[in-house]
Amino acid sequence: MKLNSKIPEGPIEKKWSNHKFHMKLVNPANRRKYNIIVVGTGLAGSSAAATLAELGYNVHAFCYHESPRRAHSIAAQGGINAPKNYSNDGDSVYRLFYDTIKGGDYRAREANVYRLAEVSGSIIDQCVAQGVPFARDYAGYLDNRSFGGAQVARTFYARGQTGQQLLLGAYSALCRQIDAGTVKFYERREMLDLIVVDGQARGILARNLVTGKLESYAADAVVLATGGYGNVFYLSTNAKASNATAAWRAYKKGALFANPCYTQIHPTCIPVSGTHQSKLTLMSESLRNDGRIWVPKNKDDQRSPKDIPENERDYYLERLYPSFGNLVPRDVASRRAKEMCDNGYGVGATKMSVYLDFSDAIKRLGKEAIKQKYGNLFDMYKQITAEDPYEVPMRIYPAVHYTMGGLWVDYNLMSTIPGLFVLGEANFSDHGANRLGASALMQGLADGYFVIPYTMGDYLASNTFKKIDTEHSAFKDSESAVEKTIATLLENNGTKAVDEYHRELGKIMWDYVGMGRNKKGLQKALELIPQLREEFWKNVKVSGSAAEINTELEKAQRVADFFELGELLATDALHREESCGGHFREEYQTEEGEAKRNDKKFSYVAAWEFKGVDKKPTLNKEPLAFEEVHLAQRSYK
Amino acid sequence: MKLTLQIWRQKSKDEQGTFVTYNINDVSPDMSFLEMLDILNIELVKKGEEAVAFDHDCREGICGSCGVMINGRAHGPGRGIATCQLHMRSFHDGDTIIIEPWRATAFPVLKDLMVDRTSFERIMQAGGYVSAKTGGIPDGNTILIPKPIADEAFDAAACIGCGACVAACPNSSAMLFVSAKVSQLALLPQGKAEKSARVQNMVAVMDEEMFGSCSNTYACEAECPKQISVTHIARLNRELMASQV
């Protein structure tokens, strides 16, 4: 398949404005004739649904929760980037663009990243207008803090609950449109298939999670804003319901899946405490502004951290990276923590954690100042571990957090299926091989508020749409296929629960496709995953029926897709014989243990094409051209 | 730990529910409350019984999905936490724990411990927003909001919409929930233009949805996982009064 990224002509700073001028428009009076389905109502989906409705389109928004406010965007803590230069430290659109390209280890599309940086300032203004209570100083001005991978303070925040406040802002905009009747909201619906008619995305099949009924919905275009696939690892910082099913079913209908091996491991998470663990809790990266990361110099130091004198501590990030110190990008901080633990320097009962120590900051700024900044995070930590971080250092360990890979989209955020648009974490486009902190909220809202409203109009105005309804055979075929899968799962009289399989899959993924990957391990994963998948289909036990609320059935379908996705992730990781960002192949590292890219061979987007469950997917390549930023080995020293 | 659980089981909205007793062994004090239910569910499924349905998602106290009555208290023992943040170290070996859904006319039970809280959605849709369209917005710093006001607005905005306030209230009143939004937007300059219509519309829908009245028991504040203060209810009353004169 020939991939056309549709990057506009012209110098990088003019591309988006030129493109906006050249795109076709839909006359305001005609917009109400178009129906648009938006699946997922987190930051990207809510902002897209609200904005498209404001423009006059008929929007149908689908959500598997009872309310958009439950989406996992709500859990983002730290902040959102925008190059407003309020801190007067030399920030600019170009610098944010540059930091993001570099932070992504030169594996993102320049034009997309520039546009992201360009529109990010408007996001802050928009959110302020909605009543988002961003942190302010005493004179009333917006406050900023710094984040990993940047040397300027450009992160806007609302205590440690920035994602919550931004989501509630987008949700309030959506509420307003629901009230106005321009958005029809469908709660507790899970998309189980994409409907493609004559090559165009024309609708979805969804299961009503309360009645269990399969419902068909037709439209002129479909927007997926369904998040990432971090839960393929079972233990991750994602919410329990976060899943890849909508994106995966679109992949199986012909949308290409790009760079699945780019997965981000977040360095500051609360370590695993036992086998019962159901998820991992992240604590904002902003903690690294004031917390210092260290391990004892002596491997078997049994003393309490407070009794270990300064000269017997190894502040390894400050030692290895004097200019960025504790604020190196996430992938670097995570890998170094793993290395310390693998080499026996870890702390805590399992020796699988490192200290994050606030005692210096408390001495310098006072307990009250630290409480103001991080109070909720400290409380959360104490609640989970029963240890007080004001008194003893936190113990942290990396955990799967964000997935940079996702459905392939062009500059207009359209997938390889015409009429199927993909926004937010569900697409692959802006973060390359590693996402910088405070950039996920930025991308989700940029896509929803400021990109899709334009590119959707261009698509609708440039194409013709055959009249179809849900009686069309494409809907009926899809319904019977999904019905059959559900029946198979329910009739299977197996012996193991869905969670048990999910946990086993997660263990394979973490052991062989996790933070450090190598050829042998990846090949092993590619043997083990299909074996376990086969066993799952023979031996899984799903109780209850299809015609009611059935949380086990919901999970079973999601896990079934994770088996297939996990295999693709490992396939992609095996093929990419280089290290870049979140993809670390142990065979490819510099003498100092940093990721070693191979730009000559791998400076491309790997977009995979589905060929059948037991068949090898086809690799399509979109070459990445770097015209603005000079390719270099990332250095944070 | 070994525990006895008495859990409310109800097949659907239209069927009668009842308490069912389960014994569970090997509970670790480091487990979260919901992880303890996960383990029970795996055992039930393997026996061919239906898993206990309960809403949950982020498991870090921010999405507001989870929420059950534990021994008669919304989100169980402890202050300022949602059910998902409760750990089993709060209980003792041999304890009996009674687990039931939120009880309120405005929150019908969907199944087992899962309730329908869309009444909250309808209240929000009635006015829980600033009518700011996307685009054409001036720079964020053109509106100055001094820190103390921004902080107070934030305290209200921290509401996670879990419904514990309603469940804890003897009258099933939603005043704390409604006041959190009204108060946030009344404090901020952005919310001033629509403040009268907002408070009137939100309160009208609150009443239509059959939430009860506030009689100042402050049970809502005591059980709120975000510790939202009842002073916001005072501000709601003030705003409502002011909008009518």
Written as one string, the DSSP assignment of B143-205 is: S---HHHHHHHHHHHT-----HHHHHSTT-B-HHHHHHHHHHHHHSGGGGGGHHHHHHHHHHH
Asked whether the predicted pLDDT for residue B38 surpasses 90, the reply is yes
Q: Do A164 and B144 touch (CB under 8 A)?
A: no
Q: Which of residues 386-415 of A touch B (CB under 8 A)?
A: 386
Mean pLDDT of chain B: 97
The string of pLDDT tens digits covering residues B151-161 is 999 999 999 99
Whether chain B has a CB inside 8 Å of the CB on A51: the answer is: yes
Local structure of A340: helix, strand or coil: helix
Task: Using an 8 Å CB-CB cutoff, list chain A residues near B131.
Answer: 176
The yes-or-no answer on residue A154 being catalytic is no
Q: Give the DSSP H/E element, type plus range, for residue A175.
A: helix A162-180
Local structure of A151: helix, strand or coil: coil
Half-sphere exposure of A336 (CA within 13 A, CB side): 24
Substitution target in B52, B55, B60 with the highest count of A β-carbons within 10 Å is B60
> How confident is the model at residue A463, as a pLDDT?
98
Q: Where is average pLDDT lowest: A60-69, A139-148, B59-68, B218-227?
A: A139-148
Cα separation, B54 vs B67, in Å, equals 8
Report CA A562 to chain centroid distance, whole Å: 15
In a domain, A440, yes or no: no
The closest CB to that of A128, out of B50, B143, B160, belongs to B143
Asked whether the predicted pLDDT for residue B82 surpasses 90, the reply is yes
- What interhelical angle do A519-539 and A551-575 show, nearest 10? 160
The closest CB to that of A66, out of B117, B148, B153, belongs to B117
State how beta strands A540-541 and A496-497 pair: parallel
Q: Do B57 and A239 touch (CB under 8 A)?
A: yes
Q: Give the DSSP H/E element, type plus range, for residue A296.
A: strand A292-296
Task: Using an 8 Å CB-CB cutoff, list chain B residues near A51.
Answer: 134
Amino acid at B196: S
Q: Do A131 and B190 touch (CB under 8 A)?
A: yes
The closest CB to that of B133, out of A47, A54, A500, belongs to A54
Q: How close A298 gets to chain B, by Cα (Å)?
A: 29
Q: How close A226 gets to chain B, by Cα (Å)?
A: 15
> How confident is the model at residue B98, as a pLDDT?
98
Residues 6+ apart with CB under 8 A from B106: B119, B166, B172, B174, B209, B210, B211
> How confident is the model at residue A273, as a pLDDT?
86
CATH number at A300 reads 3.90.700.10
Regions of chain A with pLDDT less than 70: none
- ipTM score of complex: 0.98
Substitution target in B28, B75, B88, B129 with the highest count of A β-carbons within 10 Å is B129
> How confident is the model at residue A380, as a pLDDT?
87
The string of pLDDT tens digits covering residues A89-100 is 999 999 999 999
DSSP state of B50: P
Whether chain B has a CB inside 8 Å of the CB on A462: the answer is: no
> How confident is the model at residue A373, as a pLDDT?
83
In a domain, A280, yes or no: yes
Closest CA to A204 of A50, A44, A419, A53: A419
Q: Do B51 and A276 touch (CB under 8 A)?
A: no
Task: Using an 8 Å CB-CB cutoff, list chain B residues near A161.
Answer: 62, 158
Task: Print the domain residue range for A292.
Answer: 266-401
The closest CB to that of B140, out of A50, A128, A383, belongs to A128
Whether chain A has a CB inside 8 Å of the CB on B147: the answer is: yes
Q: Do B129 and A552 touch (CB under 8 A)?
A: no
Cα separation, A542 vs A552, in Å, equals 6
In a domain, A338, yes or no: yes
Structure tokens at A473: 């055979």
Cα separation, B88 vs A178, in Å, equals 41
* Rg of chain A taking only CA atoms, in angstroms: 24
Q: What angle do CA B44, B50, B53 make, to 5 degrees?
A: 105
Cα separation, A489 vs A556, in Å, equals 8
Report CA A390 to chain centroid distance, whole Å: 31
Alpha helices by DSSP H, listed for A450-547, are 452-462, 473-491, 498-513, 519-539
Residues 6+ apart with CB under 8 A from A72: A42, A227, A238, A239, A242, B57, B58, B63
Task: Using an 8 Å CB-CB cutoff, list chain B residues near A550.
Answer: 50
In a domain, A396, yes or no: yes
A109, A330, A517, A533: which is the annotated catalytic residue? A330
Substitution target in A549, A550, A553, A558 with the highest count of B β-carbons within 10 Å is A549
Residues 6+ apart with CB under 8 A from A150: A81, A99, A327, A436
The closest CB to that of B48, out of A138, A164, A543, belongs to A543
The closest CB to that of A129, out of B116, B117, B130, belongs to B130
Whether chain B has a CB inside 8 Å of the CB on A619: the answer is: no
The closest CB to that of A131, out of B59, B134, B188, belongs to B188
Task: Using an 8 Å CB-CB cutoff, list chain B residues near A165.
Answer: 154, 157
Task: Using an 8 Å CB-CB cutoff, list chain A residues near B49.
Answer: 543
Q: Which of residues 332-371 of A touch B (CB under 8 A)?
A: none
> How confident is the model at residue A1, as a pLDDT?
87
**Domain architecture of chain B: domains with CATH:** 3-110 (3.10.20.30), 117-131+142-244 (1.10.1060.10)
Structure tokens at A207: 């299961």
Cα separation, A173 vs B131, in Å, equals 7
Yes or no: say if B33 and B9 are a contact pair by the CB < 8 Å rule.
Answer: no
Local structure of A628: helix, strand or coil: coil
Q: Do B85 and A383 touch (CB under 8 A)?
A: yes
> How confident is the model at residue A319, as a pLDDT?
96
Task: Using an 8 Å CB-CB cutoff, list chain B residues near A498.
Answer: 45
In a domain, A540, yes or no: no
Q: Do B157 and A47 touch (CB under 8 A)?
A: no
DSSP state of A74: G
Residues 6+ apart with CB under 8 A from A630: none
The string of pLDDT tens digits covering residues A365-416 is 999 999 988 888 898 899 899 999 999 999 999 999 999 999 999 999 999 9
Yes or no: say if B125 and B178 are a contact pair by the CB < 8 Å rule.
Answer: no
Q: Do A240 and B144 touch (CB under 8 A)?
A: no
In a domain, A312, yes or no: yes
Cα separation, A382 vs A367, in Å, equals 16
Whether chain B has a CB inside 8 Å of the CB on A500: the answer is: yes
Amino acid at A328: V
Task: Using an 8 Å CB-CB cutoff, list chain A residues near B31.
Answer: 274, 276
Mean pLDDT of chain A: 96
> How confident is the model at residue A634, as a pLDDT?
79
Q: Do A541 and B46 touch (CB under 8 A)?
A: yes
In a domain, A347, yes or no: yes
Whether chain A has a CB inside 8 Å of the CB on B146: the answer is: yes
Substitution target in B34, B56, B124 with the highest count of A β-carbons within 10 Å is B124
What is the tally of structural domains in chain A?
Answer: 1
